[in-house]
Amino acid sequence: GAGVSQSPSNKVTEKGKDVELRCDPISGHTALYWYRQSLGQGLEFLIYFQGNSAPDKSGLPSDRFSAERTGGSVSTLTIQRTQQEDSAVYLCASRPAGRGYEQYFGPGTRLTVT
């Protein structure tokens, strides 16, 4: 079946612009995560959605970052007034209900802020 998809695959933007990154999770998966992968560093947790519960935003690095998940499916991560340090690969993962903690990752969006 279809896996997690993300768009765009690459995004180059100028410093100060806003960007939106999209994630389509696996159909039926109830949990959705956003992570950031910077060069030479591990994955950094950003935000977590579970069903209709309030999202866990504890990993968002600043108030320039926000995310939504509409209808319990597609999610959008928005970064306002982008900075060069926001350059990274942004990974989305989804997880089915009741399956231990197996997260299924998308291919990521590579964001470059110039």
Partner 1 sequence: GEDVEQSLFLSVREGDSSVINCTYTDSSSTYLYWYKQEPGAGLQLLTYIFSNMDMKQDQRLTVLLNKKDKHLSLRIADTQTGDSAIYFCAERGQTGANNLFFGTGTRLTVIP
Binding positions for partner 1, rule: CB under 8 A:
3-4, 33, 35, 40-43, 45, 48, 50, 56, 59, 91, 93, 100-108
Give 70 or 101: the residue with its C-beta nearer to partner 1.
Answer: 101
The amino acid that residue 23 corresponds to is: C
Give 14 or 42: the residue with its C-beta nearer to partner 1.
Answer: 42
Rounded Cα distance between 110 and 77, Å, is: 13
The minimum distance between CB 81 and partner 1, in angstroms, equals 26
Give 14 or 98: the residue with its C-beta nearer to partner 1.
Answer: 98
The minimum distance between CB 59 and partner 1, in angstroms, equals 7
72 contacts 50 by C-beta, under 8 angstroms = no
Give 5 or 66: the residue with its C-beta nearer to partner 1.
Answer: 5
The minimum distance between CB 4 and partner 1, in angstroms, equals 7
